[in-house]
Amino acid sequence: MKSVAIMTSGGDAAGMNPAIKCAVEYSIQKGLRPYLVYDGLKGLIDGNIHAASVIDTADIIHRGGTILRSSRSKRFFDYEYRKQAYEHLQRLGVESLIVIGGDGSFAALQQFYKDFKVPFAGIPATIDNDIPCTDYCLGVDTALNVIRQSVDSIRDTGQSFSRAFVIEVMGRDCGYLAMASALACSADICIAPELPYDLDAIGERLRKRRVAGERYFSAVVAEGTGMGEYLTRWMSDTLNMDARLTTLGHVQRGGSPTVRDRVMANEFAVAAVDSLLAGHKDHICVYNYGNWGYKTIDEVKSSKAKLGANLLSLCQGLSK
């Protein structure tokens, strides 16, 4: 193998840029010719692929999002467009791919490999932290810090006006962001897909504290539960106090990558290049219990993301 193209796909996540930078630099160090694919799967189809040097990635480690930009392309579901993407790679002599993204991105590359046998290595990058077989995905720590800063700010105004606040965070069908941020921000309630909740028990618990003189309450809700607006009304009625909903939305995806995301990005990028050099054809880089490893895309796609038992246990008291 003499060349590798690096791309980002799907939702952006802080940590992508540090991973791009390291992948380019480490590829060159290992004697490979790196290329950059701009605009994700769309760019792959349209041939927006260019040779890369260290100059192209010299000043990006502190930037959120992805300098390569991203896209979700319905055209990639069509074999003829995948063939067009393959022909662009053939024209440039690109022999392998590194894709930095989430579940949808890996599924696209899985099909691309089945069609044309172009080896690829995947780097999990999604703030949802919902990729099976790995404990960590790039962007999660930065997103949690954005949430933590936002909830801390909301606490200031909530305490000033004796209000209750519901903070809705991203995560789609995975409650990791909600649970981790609820613990980090000392929330009074956490509602997440993985947590059975009992509003009667929660109401009894908080009413006692309200009678005892507590004047501010907060709840962190995962967007996948669809409970944000309902819980806001419920808190207002149950606690007899002004309750407000704050949906953090896409602000969670932005921001300068934290130290952890920058370091993890470097380690993921090295693992991805090493995976290709070792002859792996369709592997995803994974991180579990402090150890690095690889799983085939079939293993990842046939598995289900699971949250740690300790996190679930710690949050149970916030849902009842």
CATH number, domain with residue 278:
3.40.50.450
Same domain (yes/no): 132, 191: no
Reply yes or no on whether the pLDDT at 175 is more than 80: yes
Mean pLDDT value of segment 70-86 = 94
Last residue of a domain, one of 253, 281, 313: 253
The whole-number pLDDT of residue 144 equals 98
Please tell me the distance from the alpha carbon of residue 43 to that of residue 46, in angstroms, as a whole number: 5
- 251 contacts: CB under 8 Å, gap ≥ 6: 146, 150
Q: What's the CA angle centered on 277, arms 271 and 278, to 5 degrees?
A: 85
Please tell me the distance from the alpha carbon of residue 112 to that of residue 85, in angstroms, as a whole number: 9
The answer to whether 268 and 19 are in contact (CB under 8 A) is: yes
Mean pLDDT value of segment 14-35 = 98
Residue 10 lies inside a defined structural domain of this protein: yes
Instruction: Judge whether 128 counts as a catalytic residue.
Output: yes
Q: Of 39, 128, 188, 282, which is the active-site residue?
A: 128
Q: Exposed, middle or buried by CB within 10 Å (0-12, 13-18, 19+), for 251? A: middle
* CB atoms inside a 10 Å sphere around CB 3: 16
Same domain (yes/no): 125, 28: yes
How sure is the predictor about 184, in pLDDT bands with cuts at 50, 70 and 90?
very high
Tokens representing 72 are: 């979700």
The whole-number pLDDT of residue 71 equals 85
In which residue are the tokens 């949906």 written? 247
Mean pLDDT value of segment 131-148 = 97
Reply yes or no on whether the pLDDT at 130 is more than 80: yes
Residue 237 lies inside a defined structural domain of this protein: yes
Residue 320 lies inside a defined structural domain of this protein: no
Residue 53 lies inside a defined structural domain of this protein: yes
Summarize pLDDT for 245-265 with one digit per residue, the tens.
Answer: 999 999 999 999 999 999 999
Q: How large a percentage of the chain has pLDDT more than 70?
A: 100
Same domain (yes/no): 131, 204: no
Reply yes or no on whether the pLDDT at 72 is more than 90: no
Please tell me the distance from the alpha carbon of residue 219 to that of residue 241, in angstroms, as a whole number: 14
How sure is the predictor about 241, in pLDDT bands with cuts at 50, 70 and 90?
very high
First to last CA, the chain: 55
Last residue of a domain, one of 235, 253, 271: 253
Please tell me whether residue 315 adopts helix, strand or coil conformation. helix
Same domain (yes/no): 36, 128: yes
Same domain (yes/no): 231, 209: yes
Please tell me the distance from the alpha carbon of residue 10 to that of residue 126, in angstroms, as a whole number: 9
Residue 158 lies inside a defined structural domain of this protein: yes
Amino acid identity, position 18:
P
Mean pLDDT value of segment 186-196 = 97
Mean pLDDT value of segment 120-133 = 97
Task: List C-alpha distances in Å: 16 to 7, 44, 109, 169, 247.
Answer: 10, 18, 18, 21, 24
Please tell me whether residue 111 adopts helix, strand or coil conformation. helix
User: H or E element: which one contains 191?
Assistant: strand 189-191
Please tell me whether residue 14 adopts helix, strand or coil conformation. coil
Residue 310 lies inside a defined structural domain of this protein: no
Mean pLDDT value of segment 279-289 = 96
Please state the pTM of the whole predicted model: 0.95
Same domain (yes/no): 156, 196: yes
Same domain (yes/no): 145, 61: no
DSSP 176-220: HHHHHHHHHTT-SEEE-TTS---HHHHHHHHHHHHHTT---EEEE
Number of domains making up the chain = 2
Residue 313 lies inside a defined structural domain of this protein: no
Residue 314 lies inside a defined structural domain of this protein: no
Tokens representing 255 are: 């921001």
Please tell me the distance from the alpha carbon of residue 16 to that of residue 66, in angstroms, as a whole number: 6
Same domain (yes/no): 279, 135: yes
Same domain (yes/no): 125, 17: yes
Same domain (yes/no): 131, 262: yes
Reply yes or no on whether the pLDDT at 172 is more than 90: no
CATH number, domain with residue 163:
3.40.50.460
Range of the domain at 94: 3-139+257-303
In which residue are the tokens 């692929």 written? 49
What is the chain's mean pLDDT, rounded?
96
Same domain (yes/no): 93, 192: no
How sure is the predictor about 118, in pLDDT bands with cuts at 50, 70 and 90?
very high
Summarize pLDDT for 192-220 with one digit per residue, the tens.
Answer: 999 999 999 999 999 999 999 999 999 99
- 183 contacts: CB under 8 Å, gap ≥ 6: 190, 311, 314, 315
Same domain (yes/no): 264, 177: no
